[in-house]
Amino acid sequence: MAETALFRARARAPVLAPAKLVLIESPIPMRLIVMRHGQSPSAAEAGVKTDHDRPLADQGRADARRQAGRLAAKGFLPDVILHSPLKRAMQTAHEVRKGFGDKPRIEEYEPLSNELRGEDLFARLTADGRRAGLTMLVGHMPQLGELAGHLTGVSMGFEPAGLVVLEASEPGRSQVLLELPPSED
């Protein structure tokens, strides 16, 4: 009998209309570490047939680990490292991860293969939902320079293992939080 009374009480409760789903663009800016791969020899010097297979040089490995240490010392520890499918970028990403103590997860990200323009890369990152946390991108010039320029409104170039930390609010108005050339201490 108690169950029947409870059922009747619920049956008389007002029925709420279903909520409408409204998509709102997130006001949270995207935080990015944008890094060019470390130094690598030419395909001929490396003895490989394609640009895709060029490996990192020893200096490129050392620079990548050093940059990770410098970022960590300044409080920038990425949640994820996305890298180009090209070998030198993948190796740079793995060296950076070692420098962070193997903490961030790492993923190959095809849009970083240097085939998209910088503004198209940003659109893809946004469409893929990459707004939460701090995302590190390891890729190539000219794409990364175009991306940084698109976001800040200032032309940027990256030497091997050079990086910039951005708070990407909207194209042309994003803020540079940190710029680290590989040679600066």
Q: Please give the sequence-ordered ranges of beta strands (E in DSSP) within the chain, or none if there are none.
A: 30-36, 80-83, 105-108, 134-139, 163-168, 175-180
Structure tokens at 31: 């935080």
Average pLDDT, the chain: 87
| Cβ–Cβ under 8 Å, residues 106 and 4 | no
Q: Give the mean pLDDT of 102-127.
A: 94
* Rounded-to-integer distance, Cα 170 and Cα 173, Å: 6
| Cβ–Cβ under 8 Å, residues 153 and 172 | yes
| Cβ–Cβ under 8 Å, residues 68 and 50 | no
DSSP state of 86: S
- Domains of the chain (ranges; CATH) run 29-180 (3.40.50.1240)
Residue 152: pLDDT over 60: yes
Q: Give the mean pLDDT of 162-183.
A: 93
Which long-range contacts link 57-64 to residues 24+ away (Cβ below 8 Å)?
60/88, 60/91, 60/92, 60/95, 60/160, 60/161, 61/91, 61/95, 63/38, 63/39, 63/160, 63/161, 63/182, 64/38, 64/91, 64/92, 64/95, 64/96, 64/99, 64/161
pLDDT tens string 44-87: 999 999 999 999 999 999 999 999 999 999 999 999 999 999 99
